[in-house]
Amino acid sequence: MKRILTLIALLLAMFSSTLNFSQIDFMYGPGYGARVLFVADGDTITVRHGKRKEKIRLYGIDCPEKLQEYGLQARLLTAKLTTDQIVSVIPVHKDRYGRLVAYIILPDGSNLNYKLVCEGSAWWYRDYAKKDLQFATRELFARGQRRGLWSGDDPLPPWDFRKGVSLNSSREDSRRLF
């Protein structure tokens, strides 16, 4: 059964990776270019757009926290892919902290948000991106391949880590896919 799920995830990931980002552009607009100045953690970056700096929270994902297992790896991957690069920022909305929440398109045209999930460096943040099933496909693929945070038996989602949920408590919500 695990092999079948992995095969399905691989096929879905291959199919969805061939899609261009015009749907994102259509839904949210074409975005704008900005230089990445700083990576706070795996899902939060600071960019320079024109003369101003802007803190951006990556849409649809939640990376492990800095002090959490795989938190440093997520930050390092985001930094490797973005630091001092000109990226395309596709705004979605502002969060309750005033940060811009956005998709980030890398110079090679790939979507950073999707890439982090596919590499096992982030969870699909279902509560905030229910309609973007590209995240579901990529998370299923990463789980099936036991990539990154999925290499462990029972990874603790960052939303539980922030609440102080212990490793032994039930985390059924983090295991479900839909």
Residues classed as catalytic:
57, 65, 99
Written as six digits, the tokens of 125 are: 């943040």
CB 55 within 8 A of CB 99: yes
Written as six digits, the tokens of 133 are: 């099933």
If DSSP codes are grouped into helix, strand and coil, which group holds residue 59?
coil
Compute the C-alpha angle 98/103/104, nearest 5°: 110
12's CB contacts (< 8 A; 6+ apart) are: 137, 140, 141
DSSP conformation letters of 144-177: HHT-GGGGSSSPPPHHHHHHT--TTS--HHHH--
- For residue 159, the cross-strand partners are none
What's the helix, strand, coil split of the chain in %, to 5?
A: 40, 25, 35
